[in-house]
Amino acid sequence: MKQSSSKKNAIYELDGRPSFAQAFPLGFQQLLAMFVGNIVPMILVANAAEMDSYHATLLIQCCVLGAGVATLIQAFPIKLGKIRIGSGLPVMMGLTYTFLPICLAVATNGELGLPVLFGAQLVAALSSVFVAFVLPYIRKFFPPIVTGTIIVSIGISCFSIAAYNLAGGQGAPDLGQPHNWIIGAVVILVIVGCTSFGKGMVNAAAVLIGIVAGYVIAAVVTVAGIVPVIDFSSIAAAKWFAIPQPLAFGGGGAPLAFNPTIILVFILLYFINAVEMVGDMTVSATGGLSRQPKDEELSGGILGNAVGCMFASVFNCFATGSYSQCSGIVAMTKVCSRWVMGTGAMTLIVAAFCPKLAAVLSTIPNCVVGGATMVVFSMITMSGMSLVAKSRFTSRSMLICGISLTLGLGISFAKDTLDAVGGYVQMFFGESSIILVALTAIVLNIVLPKTREDLNAEASID
């Protein structure tokens, strides 16, 4: 009886090994939360570059493979002496949107193209190795008031993504149509109901249940001819088995090319990516494990992503990063078993070799994804606020949090204010609020003097 209870609670333990019957649906839940977001950058680039169907499908295959391998490295770190490659924390990896603007610009530039993009990604990934090794020495600059503020900005900056998806997807022909709002609202209500009133697996798999409920409704109204929410044509067209081809975009030239300017841009973007990963790993650790992440977990996570990005460069996949919505699921459900994440990672890898399975998952409507991420992003934001609250909302902590969020989010919401200072500045500070929020919070934390109240608040933090 005791052993059975232990097995039942394994999903709530970092090193717990739940049964496959438990691990698969929970890992699948994580996969569903990130899958559409993971393939969207590839779809955008393939459409913008006007690729043929073969290369467009190959890109999607490769991005699924890259996400699976990157997640597997994080779930089960590789240890080489004192070097740890991977965090060992419950985080789900996928294509990061930090790199999307530069990826679109390079891929659609006739003088550059994908070989330059993947070459820059490969070389610049080495910069993450440096960040990983110095992270334990600079972590003192990331107390709860700083990391909490960064996490809040991650959650808030994702609100518009969730809202657009809930309404049908940005740029979609049916954006804002009533059926999108209704289906998305059902997903939200099911998740909230399962979380508030469900027990055991119903509570733990609340997001999955909500997504399935929304998908069933969308499928019914599509098949019944009421409104075409799901396009099933891609499933029939997809092959059952295909091996992702590495270095497939060289054309008549070298499969990889190296442009110093693009490499420099990628190095700076990798730093932004590392800051976002620190925030997501903190959400997973504080929300799922009720503790701060350890130095070796954070540095191992950054190093693991560097290795994952190098692999991705060879296999035609864009740079990866941790997915905030998946960390939010960990914080919401407390399911933190690395084996659950590993199951999701293996499912992704299998899907990469089975385009038909990937096609099925890619048919999840935006409104369904939007309903799920609306709940998840709210949990990310509140996880950040719980860290900020540890500083007891002193005058100093409110200044750090308030000014950082106002400046970073304000400029990202009004990015055209940076038009006069150049494209690179706009890319770094306008496309994403994270880097400006992080820099402002770090500087203010160093500069602003601490009162006795601040020192007492710090002393009370574990």
Token representation of residue 78: 């590789």
The residue type at 96:
T
> Which letter does DSSP use for residue 292 in this model?
P
> In the structure, what pLDDT confidence band is assigned to residue 403 with cuts at 50, 70 and 90?
very high
pTM greater than 0.85: no
Establish how many alpha carbons lie within 13 A of residue 426's alpha carbon, considering only the half-sphere containing its beta carbon. Answer: 13
Three-point CA angle 433, 455, 131, nearest 5°: 40
> Which letter does DSSP use for residue 430 in this model?
T
Lowest mean pLDDT among 64-78, 262-276, 293-307: 262-276
Average per-residue pLDDT in the chain? 83
Three-point CA angle 161, 271, 446, nearest 5°: 100
> In the structure, what pLDDT confidence band is assigned to residue 3 with cuts at 50, 70 and 90?
very low
- Find the helix or strand (DSSP H, E) in which 104 lies: helix 100-107
Mean pLDDT of 213-221: 93
Of the two residues 246 and 201, the one the predictor is more confident about is 246
Mean pLDDT of 104-108: 77
Gyration radius (Cα) of the chain, Å: 21
Asked if 299 and 121 touch (Cβ cutoff 8 Å), the reply is no
3-class state of residue 320 by DSSP: strand
Predicted local confidence at residue 1, as pLDDT: 37
Q: Give CA–CA dist 322/17, Å, rounded.
A: 22
Predicted local confidence at residue 404, as pLDDT: 93
Of the two residues 445 and 257, the one the predictor is more confident about is 445
Mean pLDDT of 406-420: 83
Predicted local confidence at residue 160, as pLDDT: 82
**How is 249-266 classified by DSSP, letter by letter?**
--TTS-S----HHHHHHH
Of the two residues 205 and 84, the one the predictor is more confident about is 84
Q: Is the pLDDT of residue 219 over 50?
A: yes
Of the two residues 235 and 410, the one the predictor is more confident about is 410
Asked if 262 and 117 touch (Cβ cutoff 8 Å), the reply is yes
Q: Give CA–CA dist 68/38, Å, rounded.
A: 11
Q: Give CA–CA dist 204/164, Å, rounded.
A: 26
State the Cα torsion 442-100-385-332 to the nearest 10°: -140
Three-point CA angle 219, 223, 226, nearest 5°: 95
Please provide the size of the chain in residues.
462
Q: How far is CA 299 from CA 85, 93, 326, 384, in A?
A: 8, 16, 20, 20
Predicted local confidence at residue 111, as pLDDT: 63
Strand partners, 78: 85
Asked if 423 and 105 touch (Cβ cutoff 8 Å), the reply is no
